Amino acid sequence: MRIDVVSIFPGYFDALELSLLGKAKDKGLIDLRVHDLRDHAHDKHRKVDDTPAGGGAGMVMKPEPWGEALDGILASAADEAPGADPDPLIIFPSPAGDVFNQRMARELAHESHLVFGCGRYEGIDHRVFDEYSARGRVRLVSIGDYVLNGGEVASIAMIEAIGRLVPGVVGNPLSLVEESHEEDGLLEYPSYTKPASWRDREVPPVLLGGNHAHIEKWRHEQRIERTRQVRPDLLPRELRGESRGRHAAD
């Protein structure tokens, strides 16, 4: 999978050199290319923002540097796959976008080329969104109902969640199956390791008994209980144990 990122703070993405994603890059599973938006601002001060049309607080990112940066990425995608239709998906992280979740991560892990455009300040001139929506696929995506200073941290979160689902990135694919939000949408069961006793806190005896059927049953119950306590909104209807009519989600 090819991933391009455009940002005025390319250093943020050094974090993706670490751990599993770094290894995936080294193995050629993920081809991450980070671009400095200021390389596409040609005035003396490499200015990428200006005052909002119509007035108001803050600054808005100018369209020209974005146009040049994104045109360059799209042109290189076409050059590298002559004859093929590379059809990259451009994602602009934004609190005004569709909310990112595990299902979206799974969908996006099938893409061959993602481009993340990280806005700052009050956002990017909306004509950039209109221009690339007219020419291809563009999505605004939020990582949750809170406001960050820019799209960098949101992009890193999405790239990690998507990248680990790319085949070969996580060594044991079975470890992806039993996670929170996977399979049946329940949260993960609690995990323990050695020693069996730590500060008078014991590993639950069922996990030390060697009976796999009992362990499976216990883990499943833990997942349901944890989901009921922390995220009852995720519980499948048949496990909610309350009358249907009382749930807005129904």
Residues near ligand ADE (CB under 6 A): 93-95, 142-144, 146-148, 151, 154
> What DSSP letter does each residue of 107-162 carry, written as one string?
HHTT-SEEEEE--BTT-B-HHHHHHHHHHSEEEEEESSSS--SBHHHHHHHHHHHH
According to the 3-state scheme, what is the secondary structure of 222-243? HHHHHHHHHCHHHCCHHHHCCC
Least Cβ distance, residue 148 to ligand ADE (angstroms): 4
Name which of 97 and 232 has its Cβ closer to ligand ADE: 97
Least Cβ distance, residue 6 to ligand ADE (angstroms): 14
Name which of 142 and 180 has its Cβ closer to ligand ADE: 142
If one counts every other C-beta atom within 10 angstroms of the C-beta of residue 241, the result is 9
Spatial distance between the Cα atoms of 211 and 206, rounded to a whole number of angstroms: 8
Least Cβ distance, residue 108 to ligand ADE (angstroms): 14
Least Cβ distance, residue 11 to ligand ADE (angstroms): 18
If one counts every other C-beta atom within 10 angstroms of the C-beta of residue 225, the result is 13
Note whether 202 and 196 are within 8 A (CB): yes
Name which of 142 and 222 has its Cβ closer to ligand ADE: 142
Least Cβ distance, residue 139 to ligand ADE (angstroms): 11
Name which of 144 and 168 has its Cβ closer to ligand ADE: 144
Q: Is the dihedral of CA 9, 10, 15, 20 positive or negative?
A: positive
Name which of 148 and 215 has its Cβ closer to ligand ADE: 148
